Every structure is written in structure tokens, then in C-alpha cells.
Structure 1
Amino acid sequence: MRVLTLELTAFGPYRNKQLIDFQKLGEEMIFLITGPTGAGKTTLFDAICYSLYGRASGTDRDQDTLRSHFATKDDLTKVTLTFSLHQKTYSVTRSPKQWKPKARGEGYTEEPATAVLYQLNAEKQWELVQSKIKEVNDTLQAMINLDYEQFRKMIMIPQGEFRKLISENSKEREEVLQKIFRTYIYHDMTEKMKNDAKLIKEQIEQLEWKLQQEKLNVSSEMMELEENKPFIEQIELKVNELKEQLNQIHTRKNQLIQQQQELEQDYYRNQQIAELFDQLDFKKQEKIQMQEQETEIQEVKGVLQLAYFADQLLPLDQQLQTREEEWQNQKKQLQHLQEQLTIKQNAFLKEEQHYHLLKNMEEDREKMKLDLLRQQENLHNVKGYFARKDQFLKLSGTVEKQRQEINGLEQSIEQLNKEKEQSYQISDQIYQLQQTIQEERYNQEKWQRQLAICHDILKETLQLDTLRRNYLQVKNNVNELNQQVEVQKEKCLEIEQAYHKNIAHILAGTIVEGEPCPVCGSTNHPKKRKSKSNELNQDMVDKERNSLHQLEERHKSVERKMYEIREQGEAKKAVISSFYQTLDPALQSKNSKDLNETVEKLTEQENKREKGILDLHNSLAKLQAAKKNVQDIQKQIERSKTEQTKLKTSFSQDLEQLQQLQIELTSQEKQLPERIDSVNSYQKQVDQLERDYQNKIKQWKDTKERYDKIKHELAEMKTITQQTEQFEQQLKESYEKQKNLFNQSLAEKNFLTVSAYKEALISKEKQSHLQDRINRYDENKKLIEQRINELMASLENKEKPNLEILKDQLDQFKEKQLSLSKEEQQIEWLLTHLKRSIKTVQSIEKELADLSEKYYHIGELANIAKGDNPQKLSFERFVLSTFLDEILLQANLRLDKMTDHRFQLIRSEEIAKRGAQSGLDLEVLDHYTGRKRSVKTLSGGEGFKAALSLALGMADIIQSHAGGVQLDTLFIDEGFGTLDEVSLEQAIQCLKDLQQDHRVIGVISHVGQLKEAIKAKLIVQSSNDGSDARFVLQ
């Protein structure tokens, strides 16, 4: 990878746009980056790192601080890097998150961070590759094949970074190498083996505890165990003994069951005879009840007979009602028609009078028609007159308007001449105001930046105070939880001990006096322990254990939260410190309280300044609005004069045409009818006359049509009325005939009155219900008598048995059987638990054997990997030591040249003391003395040579382990000032040797000898408006 161009805007100390073209170097592979301290030399490499990875190069640089303090609010921070890689050219552009003025209104809006990657195609056109930050980062890292840490260690030797590899201890050197070679996987592997071994060991301890608990349970609950005999063998002997007892109980139980079955059969036979005697008594009682219902049933049969006769008369009754309803409806219809006929006759007489009245007005309608035709002829003349009058009035207005415009143009020309003179005076005032505003705005931007930093400090301080309060609160919670965990542990221990003592209660509750004990076999139990209502069980023990586990998990969670808050607090303090460093020197010594007061004063000061600037802007806006361009004014004067000439010509022509129209109007006015104000008013008179005539014609036509219609309707209604009267008489006769027929049938069915017939009518449903009642009565009576006869025949020569004696005998057999069942259950319960204990112990012992074998292998590997070995060398350190050996091999090639074959860097083989890790300590072999000594004994110049050699060796090894990536650009930052002249020449020669690999090397230094030795220079100059950078080739 070779850097081609670097473009900066508002980045670090560079306010204005900077384009640094590395292609200007040509054949010069080494160039010097020189300039005053703080001018922005290292910032150039920060920009390269930021463009590729979105991060700065140094460990103490944050991307949020990369924006230039010289930049105005309208300047946006941006970096563009163009580079070549694998014969292809790429360009990446980044901008950080920043604030910019709103497009509309006041205030600021946040501009999000952006990143865009382009590639130059064969047609020399830029093609978009990626436009999202994550995709750009992933694509660039895949192309370069180096992560951020590797890149900055490989392409840049920053101030003091590689000196750490020489001067720091083994632990810190390990952290540096971890970041570069990404060996976290080996550390994670070691931790996983360590955690796995710990977990297996805990599982083994848990299983051993379970095994011991199982044995204690058997010993305390079920049987006494002998210590010298195997646990499984003792339990199996006890199981066989219990099985023999169980067989004896089964034999005794079967004998009792057989005797009980014989007694039950005898009991059931006598029970059936007793039930038959009960049935006979019940049926006799039912027969008596049936005899009492006989009279009521006879009454129901009479009601049912009358309902039958009434149903036969019902059709005649319905027909009579139908004939009556038809006659009454027709009678009502006839009455309605007679009323309508009367109304229609009255209406006809009224309409007939109106018809003859309008028929006699025919002569008046003809006169109105002639008058209408005469008025329509006069309307045509009136329209012509008023059209010409409108033309006259319009032209009069035009002439008057032209006269006013001519006078207005004369006044306008005079006013424009005055404005031209005023514009010269306003221009001078605007220039003076603009100078004042520019000075005030510069001061405002300077103190606004300081004010924003103060606000950030106060905001971060408040957040820090909150974190401190939270930390104390969480710390108190941790202490409280600590105490709760200890209390719960003691409670669990007490409950487990009490549980083991109370296990025997369960077995004691099942022992029956006179029967053998399932554990010892004794039939005498003089000191049997009574069970308690509050006995402990396994669920209660597990519940307390779960409570302890939950408390421990909660304690770990709150403790992690405490550490997180403490880390956040440390980060906040670092941020506040960085903000203080960017403040004006006069403000850096103030604490948060004083700073708050200072912010209020600065805010008040800036508000006044802003108001003053706003007043100046308002004054400027008023002046700019008042100012007019002199040339524009002159052009307006000329245009006004030309327009004035055109208006005068048009005015003369229109005035002549107006006089001619006046003459014509006077002649036409004499021919008009009298009292004519306008065409519309006369038109309305003619229209009204025409509407009156049409209304009279329509009135006569409508009246004639109504008269003819009502005359026809009256004749039709008389005919319909006559027909309706005849039909009504026919219906009346039909009704009388039907009435006589119904009365005759009523007498035949023995109904004296119509009301008697109505009362006899009942619904079909009720009739069916009464018939069902009669049928049920007859059927039940027959069944009862039949059942009584059957029972008396069956119980002949038999007496009712006594069942109480038989039932007492059955209860005695059941009590004996229940006693045997309890004894059987006790033995089965004990047998089941002993068998389960055998399976549990066998399973635990098998699992213990498997885990022990597994722990033998994993535990040994975990100890070796974490450094518990004779060399005190962990697995990760072993890998890092291999990388370090490769780096030292390459570094010594260059250190040998720079020290005249005196020094050689080697890795120490000594074992660290007091249990510390070994393998990464460095020593230097001094060939002048032939002895090894610590690298910390090297002088400043010797240390720089060693660090430079180590950095160059590091770059070579990183390239080889990153897939052969070739970075053709290298930067070296400071350190040459510690070298003498000979050492400096050796260092320069070593750098020149790197040119053989076609690398471009940039050296950041103030050393004068380097300025003379290196022809190409990138000069960085600083000013009160920001820094500038440019190449100078000698």
C-alpha cells in the first residue's frame, strides 16, 4: 500500500483545506516532516489512520478531539485519502460526528459520521464501492489485511510507543504483543480449560456429597449399616429379608380374602330377601293412593267428552265469523266511497266556476301579446346606444390615466436623480459596519468555543457526581448482600442437619405394635419416636438451597455493577481532564464551582455581544436595503424618459377618438324611449312583460286541463259507488244464512248457550295431556296389582332376615385385612427405597469414575496451559515468545549495523521469581563485555536505536503473518535528538537501506543534521488562523 494524496479540512490544527500530494516526491523515498512543536506534524498520520480505521494513531488521541479549534461553525471536518494497492487506486473520505448550523432557523443540528470508499476504474472514473461506515471499515481491513493495532505499529513509529517494549515489564510487554498479534484466542483457550477443570472438580465434590448423603439417609431412616461391610451388599441382604416377609403377608391375606368372600355371598342373599319384603309394603301403599284418585279421573273424562263436541262445532263458528267480517268490511268501504263522492262533487262545482271566468278573458291576452312585440323592437335600439356609451367612458378613463402616468414619470425621474446621490453616501457607511461586524464575530467564535468546553466540563462533572453516589449506594448493597449470603449459608447448614435427624420419623410412623420392625425385625417397640407436625422434608431443604443460590447470583450481579460504575467514573475523570487541557489558560485553574460562575459571566457577556452583533447586522441590513446601484438608477432614468415619449403620442390619438364618440352619442340619444337609465333596466321591463304574458297563457291551459280531468273522475266515482252498494247487500244476506246454520248445530250438540260452547273449547295440547293422564292412571293401577301378586307368591312361607349380625361379621374380616395391608405397604415402601438407593449409589459411583478420569486429563492440561509448569510459561506466553523471537531476529539485523556490532537483543530464559510468569523478559547482550544485562541499562540514544530496530523488525513480522501485505509507506516520529553524530548517521543509513524495498519513509524530527541530510521536506507552518503544510524539494 502506498499513500498518494492526503486532503484535510478543519482537521486538528489545519483549518483551511490542505492537499498533500506524496507523488511530488518522485524518486525521493525519504522525506523530512518538520515544523514547530504542536504545528500538526503527527496530525498527518492521525489523518491517515482516521481515514482508514476511523481512529487516531496515538493512544492518547480521541477522534472527538480531531476537529480543528480554528474552524468556524460553517467549516465541516473531513479527511480524504487516496492510495494504491495491488496496482489499483482507491479513495476513502471520512467525516466525524459534528454540529453544523441549521439550514432554516437558528441553532445547530448534529451531522452524523460518514465514510465513503471509491475505486478508480479503467476509464479513470471514480466508482462507488461502499457508502456505510461498517461496510467501509470491513472492506478496507480486508483489503489491507491488517487491523488497527497492527497497522499503526507497522506504518508508524510514534513517540514513545516502542520504547515500552524495551523498558516496561514482562506483563506490560505481553499486553502490547497481545494487541498486535491478536493472541487472545490462546488466553481464552487456557481460561476455558481452567474453567472446565474447575467445573468438573465441583461436580466431583457434589457427587461425593450426594453419595455420603444417600448413605446417611439409609442409615438413619431404614437400617443400621456396618462400617466394615460393603454398602450395596448390606442393602441387598436386607432386600431379600423384606421380600420373604412380604410373601408371608400375601399368604395370610389371601386366606382372609377367601373367608370374606363366602360371608359376603351369604349376606347378599339375605339382603335380596329383605329388599323384596320392602317392595311389597311399598306397592300396597301405592294401591291405596290409586283408589283415592278414582273420582278425579272420572271428572277429567267428562271434560274431555265436551271438548270433543265443541271441536265439531268449531268450523261452523269460524265460517260465521268470516261472513260477518266480510260484511262489516264492505259496509265500511261503501261508507268511505259515499264520503269521497260528496267531496269530489263540491270540488267540481268550484273548478267549473273558475273555468268559465278565465274563458271570458281571451281578449285581454291578445292585447298583451301585441304590446310585447312592440317593446322587443325598442330593446335593439337601446342596446346599440349604451354599447357606444361604454366605449366612450372606457376611452375617457384611458386618456385620464395616460395624463396621470405622464405626470408621474416626470416626478419619478426627479426622484431617481436624488437616489443616485444618496447611494454614494450609503456605500461608505456599509463598508465601515462590515469591518466592525467581522471583528466582533471573531471574538464571539473564540469565546463560544471556550463556553462550549465549559458546558461539557460541567455536564461531565454532574454525571461524575451521579456515578459517585451510585457507586456508594451499590457498594452498600454489596455489603448487605454479603451479610445475607452468610446468614443464609448458616441457615442451610442448620436445616440440613435437622433434616437428617428427622428422617427416621417417617419410618417410625409406619411401625405397628406386635409386628416386626422393617429395619431391625423386633416386635417390641418400647421407645417409638412420635412424629411431629412440623417435620422437615427434602423440598424444604432444596428451597433454602435455592434461596442461597439466588442470593449468591444477586450478589455477583450487584458486585459486577459496582465495578462497572467505578470504571465509568474513571473514564469520566479522564474526559474532564482532557476538556480542561483545551481551555484558555486563564480558565484551567478554576474548579467546577468557580467555572460555573465563570460560565454565567461568559454567557451574559456573549449574550450582550450577540445582541450587539445583531444590532450591527440590522443596521447593515437597513443600509444594504437602502442602497441602490448607481448604474441601475441611471438606466431607470433613461427608461422613464423613453416611456414618457411613447405615452404622449398615444395620449393625442386617444383624445381625438374620444371627441368623435361624443358627437355620435348626442345624435342617438334623441331617438331613445323616455326614462331609460340602462340596457339592463329596459331589458328587465321587456322580460317581465313576457313572463306575465306566458303566465296568463299557462294559467288558462292548466285550468282547462283540471276542469276536464275532475269532470271525468266524478262520473267514474258515481259508477263505483253504485256497484259497491249492491255487493254489500249480498254479503249481508250470506251472513244471516250462516248464522241460522250455526245456531241449529249448537242445539243438536246439547249446548244451551254460545258461552257454554266457548267454555268447552280447549286446546289440542291440553286434550292430549288429559288423555295421557287417564291412560297413565289405568296402566299404573294394573302394574301395581300385578307386582303385588308376584311378590306375595315369591315370599310365601318366608320371614324377613336380620342383616345387622351379618354386617358385623364382615367388618371384623375387613379390619384384619386392613391391618395386613398396612404392614404390606410399610415393607413395600422400605423395599422400594432400598432398591432406589442401590440404583442411586451405583449411578453416582459410575459418574464419579467417569468424571475422575476426565479431570485427570483436563486438569493436567489446564495447569500446564496457565503456567503451572517448571518453566513458569503459559500457553499464550509460549506463542507470544515465538513471535518475539522472530521480531528479535529481524531487529538485531538493523541494531547490529547501528551499534557497530556491539549490541544484540535476546529473550531472557530465566525463571521469574515469586510465582510470576516468564518468557517475555528482554535482555541485551553487550559484545564488548560479553555479558548480558537488562535493556533498562541502555542510554537514551542506545534505547532509541533498540526501539527503532524493534519497530522495524515488528513491521517485517507483521507483514509476513498478515499474508505478505506490503506497506510502502513508513513514518517515524521523534527520537533522533538523543543520538550523537555517528549514531545519527548509522540510523539514517539504516533508513536508506529500507529504500531498497521501495518504501516511502517520512521522518518527523527537529534535528538539524537530518534537515541537511534529507533533501525532500514536508514543511508544516502554524499561525493564528491554523496550520499549513507543503512539500519543498531541494
Structure 2
Amino acid sequence: MRLHRLELSAFGPYPRREVVDFDALGADGLFLLHGDTGAGKTTLLDAVAFALFGRVPGARETLKAGELRCRLADPDTPTEVALELTVQGHRLRISRSPEYERPKKRGEGTTKQQAKASLTWLSVPGGGTPPDGATRVDEVARTVQRLLGMSAEQFFQVVLLPQGEFARFLRADTTQREQVLERLFGTERFLDVEKWFEERRRERNRELQARQRSALELAARVAQAAGEERPEEPDVPWLDDLVARTGEAAERAATDERAARADLAAVEAELTARAELAERVRRVRQASDELAALAARRGELVAWEAERDAAHRALPVLTARRGLLRANDALDSARADVERATERARALGWDGAEDPRGAAARARERAGELSGLVAEAERQRVDERRLAELAELVDRERTRVARLAELAADLPARVERARAELDRARAAAASLDGLLTRRAELTAALRDARALPAARERAERAARRAQEAVDAHQEARDRLQDLRERRLDGMAAELAAHLADGAPCPVCGAVDHPRPASPPEAMVTEADERRARDEEQRAQAVRERARREEHEASAEADALVERLAGRTADDIASELSIVDEECAAATALAETVERGEADLRALDDDSRQVRDQRVEAERALGAAEAQHRELTETVRQRAERLDRAREGHADVAERRDHLVALAEALDVLVEARSTLDSARRRVAEHERAVEEAVTAAGFPDVDAALAAARSEEEVADLAERVRAAQDREAAARDVLAQPELAGVDPDQVVDVAGARERADLARERCEAAVTAAASAAGRARDVAELAGRLRAAWADLAPAQAEYAELAALTDVVNGRGQNHRKISLRSYVLAARLEEVAVAATTRLQRMSQGRYSFVHADGAGPRGTRGGLGLDVLDDYSGQVRPARTLSGGESFLASLALALGLADVVAAETGGAVLDTLFVDEGFGTLDAGALDLVMDTLDELRAGGRVVGLVSHVEELRQRIPVRLRVRKARTGSTLELSTA
């Protein structure tokens, strides 16, 4: 995959259309992307990612779609990113626009601009006709995924190399490293296999435990049925012994039951015979006693019979007398009703001379004539109330019309004032963003102006220190050269000092040394030269560090001078003071926009409402006045008719009610007189009936009949006493006449209690034996049945236990436990193989960048305290020959290792996914931790990448890279937004 051209507008900090020509940038194979902090360097990489996948990498992925739009862009400028690239021989152009809010073309407010995407084919392999493009977001996404052969996460990891993430990956523990590798290599299916084994084991374990619980429950039920405690580990011998013992106990209980039943039968036969004899004696004795008692009370029985018969003869006399008493009560009540009715009629105006029937008819006739006028009187009262309401309504409507007229005259001026205030507030709000941006720029400029003197002073000090370091280094080099020359001059003496007789000379090989050289007075040794060399190297390191500090201090001062553009701190402070005042004023006005808009809308609504309410009030006033005039005349005419009809009463209804009441009172009087005549006739009839009843009952007079009378309860009691005595006598004689009682002595004594005691004891013994036999037999049956079920459960349990043991062991191995001594799960094993490939690929570059000192070592052993292993990554230090943890590397060494790891991982992921060849890479930051020598080695590695045809883009603030890389893309920021500048010098 090679990038050719990137176009973006209103995206991130870029308000206008900007173009990045990657063909021009990548002509040399290596280019630098640099600029001030926050200018928008990383945004260019985000734009590439957004064009391809519709999202941005890293922490910025959480940004909402609308937040990708530049806030400084013109409202009419669309937010869009277009990328032209070649992948797998296809050249295509991808354009995307995020979803964001834009101003409406008509009216106020905003509307949502929907997300869009399009893919256009520019050329295809072989020069054929390009296919039709795509305009749907999902279709573009599928096409990009198919051509690149990798997901967005993999692309962000292997094309936009994030150094910070790989430094964390280098030092991460097994779990964190596993998450990164799993995201890149897509090993979720192996995790699914691990989960499948775990779930299968849990399922089989649940089934096995259920079977084991069922077997234990059966064993507990067997023990419970036998009345014993279940052993901790029930087995077959225990079960066989339990079944045998319960069967023997059942047989013994059955034998005891049969013997108890025989004893009970003999004792019960004796008890029955004695009980029957005792019963015959009791019956004879009871009947004899009853006859003797009745004979003693014979006179009392005769008196009861005479009293009962007299009471029966007095009943008709009592009935006739009660009728006479009721008739007299009715006569008295009728006389009282006539008196009350007469008083009521006279009180209502009847003089007593006229017949009450005729007077009632005439009163009712006059009341009927007044019925129509009563309805008119009610209507008159309603209309009078309505007339008062209409008068009040007329007054209210007149007041309302006057008030609305005053409001209508005042509203236009208020609307005009509110509109003018709103226009001023909107203008202030529109200018606020520019003022705030200008204030931020002036604040930064003032800070730069105040920092400039100190920066210049630091630059001067750094220059002096650099010059001093150069001089010191030159002096050290001179001393080293002098010592080397002096050592060479005295080298013969140094060699001669090690000669021995008979030993060959290391120069000529002779074993004789006739004239060995003598050492000079101030001989230079190897140790002297080594110390001088170390001092020269330390001086060189100090010189290089001083030069870097001088360059950094000078660059800082130059950058401040460039940004200030000749302005002084006083000039900037004065301008900032003015802008602060303008910002405060604009902010205060801008805060009133929403309130002003609401006030203006409210005034417009008030104007419409006042206008509508005034028209409605004038219409209502005219209608109310017309109704008031018409109703006034109607009420006057009706009042004259009603005054004539009421004849001294309060109103017509009262006069009508008086006539109706008089007619009703006269009707009651007529009815009361008729009832009095009937009551007198009934009293005479009942007096004759009483005299006839006394004569018929045989009593001399009424008083005698009343003396013989008894109540119904008393008569019934007398009859019951007579009948009960007769029934007792008959029953006693019937008992003595029964054949089985003939010859029974009523005074005979029979011992039934002793026989009953013996029978109760025998019955208790028999019931206990029956219960014991039934219980033993049931226990034997239950134990035998449950024992069979338990034996079957044990037989089914054995193969299930063997199957679960095998599955559990295999699951432990797959998940890095049990017999898996390396503690590596299946997923970690696959990831470990990928990590080993990454380590091999990364080691090649790391050895080159570290001059052969460091190599990556993949460790697959278990972690500390038995944690899972397989994803360890250490480094081999060739200087010491020891493997050391990656976290012990220095900052610069960590950067070298992280870069090598990132490049190696990019190669492995690209090969693993089978995707497109990655001809364009971006490396983001991290170079500031390297010294000059390490930076040279890194640049050599990057040169190898571009020598292979790749284009490498570096994103960095390091000033030295500007001197090393001629092709640069600079991002400049300003208060109006960021811009791009391409330079090749």
C-alpha cells in the first residue's frame, strides 16, 4: 500500500483546504513531519485513518463525529477528507465526511449534515476498465477491508507506529501483552475453544455431582427407612447387611402379632358375656323403679288433666274479647284524627259553615289556574339574576377594551427596543471567538516576550560552555596524541622490559638479547595512554552534550524571536489589555443573546395576543349591551302580571301552595269523619260476639272464662306433662314384658369391670404387636426397593466419573493448568508462537541499531507464583552474556527496542493477515531520547526501510532531524487555524 495524495478541509485544526503530496514527500523515501505542539501533526495521521476506516486511532477514537470539524472553518466550507492511494495494484480515491451540525441555508439554527463516503477506482492492474465506484458507507468499508486485508486496529498498529504504546508493550506483563497480541492476530477462536472446554467441564461436573448427590440421597433414604444413620462412605457390604437385618426383624414381628391376636379373642369373649348379663339386670331394675314412682304421683296427674281441659274451653272467649279491645282502640284513634283535621282546615281559612268536600274542590280549581303563573315567576327570578350578570359583564368588557387599547399603543416601541438590543448581542457573540483567539495568541506572545531575555541569556551561556567544551576536548586530544607518540618512541624499551633469557623476542624471534633498549626517564605506559583516552572520550561526550544544549538554547531563542516578529512585551501587553476589555464587553453582551431572543419572541406573541384580544373584547361588549336592553323590557312586563296574581302573598307560588294545602286539609277531614263512623259500627259487633262465646263455653260470665284461661305455653306444658307420664308408664311395662328379661333378678351383681380391664390390656398388647409387625414389614419392603435403586445408581456412576476425570485433565491442559507444566493456555501458546516470530524479526533490526549488543529473547516459562506464562519478552545483553528484563533498559535503549519491536511486529502482522504490502509507514515521536550515535544507527535502519522501496514519515520535535532529513512537511499554527508548508532544503 502506497499513499499518493491527502486532501482535507475543515478537519481538526485546518479550517481551509490543505493538500499533502506524498509522492513529493516520499521521493527521497524519508520525510519529516514537524511543527509546534498542538499545531496538528498527528491530525494528518488521523485524516489518513479516517479516510480509510471512518474513525481515528488511539485515545482520540472517543471523539464524537461532530468534534472532528474545525471550529474556525467558514460555515459554508464542508468537512471532508480525501485520500488517493495504490493497494494491490489498484489505484483508488476515498472521500469521507463525518456527521456534524451546519447552519441552515434558510432561516436560523442548524441542521445535521449526514456522514458520507465514496470510493472511486482510478486504475486497475493490467490497465483494464475500472469498476463502478461505491457511495454507501458500509460498502466502502467492506472494500477497504478486503483490499488492505487487515482491520482498523491492525492498521493503526503496523502503519501508524505508536512508539509510546510499544514501550508499554515492551514492559507489559503477560495479561497486558496478551491483550495487544490478541487484538492484532485475531486469536479469539482459540479463546472460544478454551471457553468451550471450560463450559463442557462445568456441564459434566454438574451432571456428575447431581448423580453423586442422587446416590447419596438414596443411601440416606435406605438408612432412614431402616431407622439407622447413614455411614460417611456407604458401600455394598453395608447395604447387604442392612437388607438382611430388616427382613429378619419383619419375620419376628409377624410371629408376635399372631400370638397377641389369639389372646385378645379369648378375653373379649368373656367380656361380652358378662356385659350382656349386666345390661339385662340394669333394664329390669330401671323399669321396676319407674312404675313405683309413677304410682306415687297419680293425684298430681289428674289435676293436670282438669286444668288443661278448662283452658281449652276458655280459648274462644279470649279471642272474642281481644277483638273488642282492638275495636275500642280504633274508635279512640278515629275521634282524635277528626279533631286534628278540623283544626288544620280552620287554620288554613275554612270557616266550618261550608261543606268540606265542596270547599276542597273550589280551592283546587283556583290553584290550577295559578300553575302557569308560577313557572313565569321562576323565569322572572332567573332573568333578574341574568340581568345583574349582564350589567357586570358590560362594565368588565368596557374596562378590558380600554386596557387593551393602551397595551396595543405601547407594544411597537418595546419590540423595536428589544430587536436593537438583540442585534447588538448577536454581533458581540459573533466577534467573541475571534477576540478569545486573539487574546490567547497575545497571552502566548506576552509569555514569549517575557521569556526571550532569559532564553537569549541561556543561549549565550550555552555558547560559552560549548566553546569551553571544545577547547577542553582539543586539549585532551592533544594530550592523547602526545602520549601516543611518546609511547611509540619508547615502545622498544617497553618490549625489552618483558624479555627473558631463552625466550623468543616478540619482534625478531631471537632468543638472545645482547642490547635491550633502556627506558627513557619519563616512560609512557599503556595505562597512561588508556587514562588519556578515557579523558578524551569524556571530554568529547561533554563537548557533544554542550553542542546539543547550545543548539537547543539557540533554537528556542530563535523560535521566540520568530514568533514575536519584532514586537516588545510592552506593545503586546498594551494590545492584550485592549483585547481583554473587548472580550469582557463582548462576553457580557453574548450572554444576553438567548434571553434577548426569548424576550423578542415573547413581545411578538404579546402583540398578536393583544390585537386578537381587543377585537374579541369589542365584539363581546356589543353583544352584552344588546342582551341587557332586550332582557330589561321583558322583565318589566312580566313583573306587572305577577303583582296582580299574588293577592297579598309574597309571590304567586306562595298563594298557589296555600290553596293546595287547604284542599289537602279538607280532604283529610272528610276521610277522618268516614273512618270514625266505621269504628263505631265495629265496636257494637264485637260486644255481641263476646257474649255469645261465654255462653257457648259453659262459663257463667266473662270473668270466670278469663280466670280459667291459660297462655299457650302453659297449656302446652300441661299437655306435655300428662303425655310424658303416660309414655313412661307404657315404656316400663313394655320392658318387663320382653322374653329375654324373664326371671332376671334386679338385685343381682355382675363383675364387668374386671373383665374389661383384662380385655383392655390384651387389646393394647395386640395393637402394639400389629403396629410393630406392619412397621417391620414396611421397613423391609422400603429397604429392599431402595437398595435396588441404589445399586443401579452406583452402577451408572462409575463410567460418568471416569469420563469427567478425562475431560477435566484435558481442560486443565488447554487452559494452562494441571499437567501443563509451562502453564501456557492454548490461546497463549498460539500467541507465543506469533510473539516468537516477532522477536526474531525485531532482533535483526535491534542488533543493527545496538551495534550487536542486544537481542530479543522469547521466554515461554511459567510466571512468578505459578501464573500463566508463554508471553515473556526479555533482551540478551551481549556485553555481559546475560538475559535481562526489558524494563532495565535506559530511555534511549528502550526507544531502540520499541522501534525494532514495532517494525518487526508490522512485518509479521502484514504476513499473517495476507494483506497488502505496506509501502508507507509513519513513526510518531520518541527520537528525543537518543544520543548522536544511537540516532545514526536508527537512521541507518530507516534508510534500509526506504532502500526496500518504502516511504517512511517521521513525526518529531527533535531539531537535529531537521538537519538530517531534507524533505520536511511543517505544520504552522495561527489564531486563524493551521496550515501546511512543504520544504526540500
TM-score band (shorter)? 0.3 to 0.5
